Amino acid sequence: MRDVCVLASDKRARLEIAVAVTTEVCREAQRAHSSGTTSTIGLGRLLTATGLMALTSRRLGTTSVQILSRGRIGQLFADSTESGEVRGYSRRPELMYPIIPKERRLERASIGAMVAPGRVSVVRSNAAGEYGQSAAPMANGEIDRDVEAFIAQSEQIPAVVACETLLEADGTVMVAGGVFVRAMPDSELDALYALRDRVIDGRLAELLVSSEDFPTLLSRIAPDAEIVEEEKRIVWKCRCSLERVLGAIELLGVQDLAEIADKKEPTGVDCDFCRTHYEVTAEQVMAIFESKIQARG
Ligand SMILES: [Zn+2]
C-alpha cells in the first residue's frame, strides 16, 4: 500500500474519521536517525498521530507533540505543518527493546515499559505566529493511547487514536499507519466505541498487514464512512536550512559569538530533526558578531 491520508465522515453517527498509511514516513525517519526498534516504533506512531492531528485540525500553523518520558526513551518529539509535512526525533534512537520474536513481528509491539510514566505536551501555532501550549499525563506510554488521552482531556471530546509501525525481521519498517476519529457534540458514541474496538489492542496492526489495498483498509476500519475531501498525504520533510542555522546563531550573545569566531574554524551544527549537517565558517560567525556590535552603536 502506498502512503495516503483520507478524511472521511460517518454522517449518520456524526464522526470525523481520518485514516493514513505512513510507511514511507516511518522509513525516512528510521533512515535519518538510524534508529533501533523502540524508537522506530515510538517515533513512527508519534509522527503518524501528529500528522493526523494537523491534517484534521482545519487551521493554519504547525502542531508539535512532545512525549516527555521519565522512562528510558527520554523524549520523543514530532511536528507537522497544516499540510502534513512531518519530522521528528527521539533522544534515545538506539533503544532496541523489546526484542520482537520473529513469529510476533506482525503484531502490535508494546513499548510502554520504555516510555511511561510521563506527560504529553502539545504546542500549536496559528497563522499569526502565536503559540498555545497544553499538556496532559501519559496514559500508558504506547504513544497513540497517550495522544488520545491528551485530546480527551484538553479538548473535552471523545476521540480514537490508533497508530502502528510494524517491522520486518531485520528491524526495518514493513508497514505503518494510523486512525484518528473525533466525536462531535451530537455524535453517536456507540458508533465511536464500535470503531475503537476495530482498531485498538493490535487490531489496526492486523488490518494493515492483511488489507491488500487502501479502500479495503478504510472499509474494514469505518464501513459507513464517506470520503469528504480529496486525498492528502503525510510526508517526511524537514524545514531546516543554512539560513535558519545562521538565524539561530544570531540569537547567541556577543561573548559567545566572539569565542566561536576566535577559534577560526568551521562550526558544525546537526539538525535534531533530520540529522543534516551544516558547517558555519568562522567568517560567517564573525560577520554576525560584527553586525551585532554595529547594531549596538
Ligand atoms: Zn532538518
> In this predicted model, what pLDDT tens digit does every residue of 96-149 receive, in sequence order?
876 777 788 889 999 999 999 999 999 999 888 899 999 999 999 999 999 999
CATH number, position 254: 3.90.1280.10
| Per-residue pLDDT, 126 | 86
CA–CA distances in Å: residue 34 to residues 29, 41, 48, 95, 150: 8, 13, 18, 11, 29
Q: What's the 107 CA to ligand 1 centre distance in angstroms?
A: 32
H/E element, 26: helix 23-33
Q: What's the 28 CA to ligand 1 centre distance in angstroms?
A: 12
Indicate whether 263 pLDDT > 80. Answer: yes
Specify whether 182 is located in the same domain as 269: no
Residues, CB within 5 angstroms of ligand 1 (ion)? 238, 240, 271, 273-274, 276
| Per-residue pLDDT, 24 | 98
Q: What's the 88 CA to ligand 1 centre distance in angstroms?
A: 9
3-state secondary structure of 115: helix
Residue whose entry in the numeric block shows the C-alpha cell 516527555: 68
Specify whether 161 is located in the same domain as 210: yes
Boundary of a domain, candidates 187, 221, 236: 236
Side-chain half-sphere CA neighbours of 271 within 13 A: 20
Quick one: DSSP state of residue 99? P
Rounded to an integer, what distance in angstroms lies between the CA atom of residue 32 and that of residue 261? 30
Domain tally for the chain? Answer: 2
Taking the model in full, what pTM does it have? Answer: 0.93
pLDDT in tens, 148-193: 999 999 989 899 999 999 999 889 999 999 999 999 889 999 999 9
Q: What's the 244 CA to ligand 1 centre distance in angstroms?
A: 10
Specify whether 106 is located in the same domain as 222: yes
Query: 267-270 and 63-69: which strand pairing?
Result: unpaired
Rounded to an integer, what distance in angstroms lies between the CA atom of residue 71 and that of residue 140? 11
pLDDT top residue among 155 and 48: 48
Indicate whether 255 pLDDT > 80. Answer: yes
Alpha helix stretches (DSSP H) within 36-162 = 37-56, 112-115, 144-154
Of how many residues is the chain composed? Answer: 297
Q: pLDDT tier at 35 (50, 70, 90 boundaries)? A: very high
Specify whether 188 is located in the same domain as 285: no
Specify whether 14 is located in the same domain as 139: yes
Alpha carbon 174 to chain centroid, angstroms: 18
Specify whether 206 is located in the same domain as 136: yes
CATH number, position 68: 3.55.30.10
Query: Is the backbone of residue 206 left (phi > 0), alpha (psi -120 to 50) or beta?
Result: alpha
Rounded to an integer, what distance in angstroms lies between the CA atom of residue 64 and that of residue 214? 27
Q: pLDDT tier at 58 (50, 70, 90 boundaries)? A: confident
Rounded to an integer, what distance in angstroms lies between the CA atom of residue 275 and that of residue 89? 9
Range of the domain at 69: 4-236
pLDDT in tens, 186-218: 999 999 999 999 999 999 999 999 999 999 999
Average pLDDT over all residues of the chain: 94
